[in-house]
Amino acid sequence: MSKKVAILGYGTTPFRARWVDKTYYELAFAAAKAALDDAGLAHQEIESAVYGIYNELFERQFMPDVYVHDYLGLGLKPSLRVTAGGATGGAAIHTGFAQIASGLYDIVLVLGVEKCSDCYNPELKSSTPEVLKGIIYSADMTFEAPLGLTPAASYALPTVAHMEKYGSPTEVQMAKVSVKNHKNAFNNPFAQRPERITIDDVLNSKKICHPFKFYDNCLYSEGASALVLVSEKMAKKLKRPLGWITGLGASTDMAFTGNRPDYSEFGSSIEAGKAAYRMAKIKNPVKALDFAEMHDAFTSAEIMSYEAFGFCKPGDGGRLIDEGVTEMEGSLPVNPSGGLIGCGHAVGATGVMQVGEAFLQVTGQAGKRQVKGARKGLVQSIGGPATSWTFAFIVEG
Amino acid sequence: MPKPKPKPKKISEPDRSFVPFELPDRIDMNYRYSFGGISPFFRALKEEGKILGARCARCKKTYLPPRIHCSQCYRPTKWVPLGTEGTVKTCTTVYYATSRFFSKTPFVCAYIQVDGADTLLLQNIILDDVTQARPGMRVRAVFKPERKGEISDFYFVPV
């Protein structure tokens, strides 16, 4: 029988384009300290650590987790690094959850961290193309990377297929997601890029990869986020706000998009969503959920994810943003944090930040971005070529 | 065990006056990469300008990119020559690329179903107007005269 898993504490650094004054292990330290302070625990009380770190090239270090573990003073305690592309943070929480649910440990630190802006191309005098180069080593090196694939193209290809099949999302609907998430970020003190922009600003921004313009893309970020997960036995001893991970689902789709039976949808999100809902006994997600933190790597991904997670029928996701359902004032706010577009995408940290945000929501600690009466939320963490991995979580107060 | 909850501490803003000590650096690695079981695909591409698929007789499924085992029934596949034409299933135009492809933009990436294959192959389409790539478009393969045995030894153009 699987044991219940609670979230006892959460801490994060702000997400920023570059933390010039911190290395990856110094960022990790800041998040770990904040999470431990929030949990009221000393680092010596941690029984096991799970690290979510995506890309060795970003950190300029292979096996970066052992250096984080050393810096956190956790020597001789068990540790494990998890890496799953953009879903690295979600994968780390999935692993930490399993360690507690199995009864192996009672107190687990799950920490996600990522640098990236130390990557720099001296000829182009820019970080971005070099960061993208570092990511594309994750695309298939034989058949796909040599053709100039980019992370945006990897999402644009299923998006175009989806538009072809359903006539949506339209570029205007996509722009509305960007406007919403940039706006929501104003309420999040940890967000990298709150901005007041209009639909026209999005539509007229620089073309990146059809149909994505500049403002359709998430940010790339540096930062660290940490959660302290505990068993029910441990949670009961403590009188402090608790979140519970009551549902969890995971699915990994074919890495070659062209191998999928339907390349116009996020199959792994559909499967992970079903599993998480089943575990949390959710029959009607629209009624049951008070909010969702979704992986808006690109604006279309958020809309296609509404469909994958059953907020509406396939092809109808654009309507939800048109009708304002997923706005802060709507009946099912999506990305109160600002999401990856407004708060940022510090890859290994992102999924941890999303679940941390859900924890803040269900414990009434989300400040200006608090969804009134939030008791139950969904978190989606996705990664890999055109969403290979999905980790989904239901977080309850 | 657990101590009383301390007051939440604010994580400080980055210190704008901080002057980092930076050095240029790079990670370098050389390979002699073996294509293993799919070596015949790259040999046929380089030496004959041909596209080979991998056919599972039991599942009646032809893989391109090829694989020497069928991922559905785990039986070995057989090499079959494929046509040089295909249909675009989905496509995009890349305007902002990685360092390596930065000066090559804009270019088109598409998933193409090559005639005779059941899966889709990522490839570039060369067009006079890069905005004109569309799902449903018929395309044919063009093989570069100087080939190294890489997937970029060929590309597609509209039929």
> Does A208 map to a domain?
no
Entry pTM: 0.96
Q: Indicate which CATH number applies to the domain containing A92.
A: 3.40.47.10
> Does A162 map to a domain?
no
> Does A371 map to a domain?
no
Residue B14: its pLDDT value, please? 63
Interface of B with A in 21-50 (CB under 8 A): 24-25, 27, 35, 38
Q: Where are the beta strands (DSSP E) in chain A?
A: 5-12, 48-52, 79-82, 107-114, 207-209, 212-213, 223-231, 243-252, 291-293, 376-383, 389-396
Residues A167-193: tens digit of each pLDDT: 999 999 999 999 999 999 999 999 999
Cα–Cα dist A366/A184, whole Å:
12
Cα–Cα dist A28/A50, whole Å:
12
> Does A91 map to a domain?
yes
Tell me how many degrees the CA angle B120-B123-B125 measures, rounded to the nearest 5. Answer: 125
| Distance (Å) of CA A136 to CA A36, A139, A146, A148, A301 | 35, 5, 9, 9, 19
Residues B148-158: tens digit of each pLDDT: 999 999 999 99
Task: Kindly tell me if the per-residue pLDDT of B6 is higher than 70.
Answer: no
Q: What are the chain B neighbours of A237 within 8 Å (beta carbons)? A: 1-2
Residue B98: its pLDDT value, please? 97
> Does A280 map to a domain?
no
* Domain range enclosing A112: 5-119+223-237
Q: What is the sign of the dihedral through the CA atoms of A363, A368, A373 and A378? A: negative
Cα–Cα dist B151/B33, whole Å:
14
| Distance (Å) of CA A224 to CA A30, A121, A347, B93 | 8, 24, 9, 33
Q: Please list the residues that pair with B157 across neighbouring strands.
A: B140
Question: Number of structural domains, chain A?
Answer: 1
Cα–Cα dist A265/A155, whole Å:
10
Q: What are the chain A neighbours of B102 within 8 Å (beta carbons)? A: 124, 129
Report whether A269 contacts A390 (CB < 8 A): yes
Residue type, A365: Q
Residues B59-73: tens digit of each pLDDT: 999 999 999 999 999
β-strand pairing of A48-52 with A107-114: parallel
> Does A78 map to a domain?
yes
- Under an 8 A CB cutoff, do B94 and A153 touch? yes
Residue B124: its pLDDT value, please? 98
Q: Is A75 helix (H, G, I), strand (E, B) or coil?
A: coil
Residue A194: its pLDDT value, please? 97
Give the list of residues 6+ apart from residue A216 with CB closer than 8 angstroms, or none: A174, A175, A178, A202, A205, A208, A298, A299, A300
Residues A284-309: tens digit of each pLDDT: 999 999 999 999 999 999 999 999 99
Neighbours of B23 (CB within 10 A): 4
Cα–Cα dist A28/A22, whole Å:
9
**Domain spans, chain B:** 36-158
Cα A143 versus chain centre, distance: 28
Residues B7-55: tens digit of each pLDDT: 444 555 667 788 999 999 999 999 999 999 999 999 999 999 999 999 9
Residues B80-113: tens digit of each pLDDT: 999 999 999 999 999 999 999 999 999 999 999 9
Q: What are the chain A neighbours of B129 within 8 Å (beta carbons)? A: none
Mean pLDDT of B114-135: 97
Size of interface A-B (CB pairs under 8 A): 161
Residue A2: its pLDDT value, please? 86
Give the list of residues 6+ apart from residue A79 with CB closer than 8 angstroms, or none: A48, A49, A50, A51, A65, A66, A69
β-strand pairing of B85-94 with B107-114: antiparallel
Q: What percent of chain B has pLDDT over 70?
A: 91
In this prediction, the residues of chain A whose per-residue pLDDT falls under 50 are none
Report whether A15 contacts A353 (CB < 8 A): yes
- Under an 8 A CB cutoff, do B8 and A122 touch? no
- Under an 8 A CB cutoff, do A256 and B119 touch? yes
Is the CB of A165 inside 8 Å of chain B's CB atoms?
no
> Does A187 map to a domain?
no
Please name the member of B90, B151, B152 whose beta carbon is closest to the beta carbon of A157: B90
- Exposure string of A42-72, with b = 16+ CB inside 10 Å and e = fewer, is eeebbbbbbbbbbbebbbbbeebbeebbeeb
- Under an 8 A CB cutoff, do B11 and A14 touch? yes
Of B119, B116, B109, which Cα lies nearest the Cα of B156? B109
Q: Kindly report the nearest CA distance between residue A21 and chain B, in angstroms.
A: 6
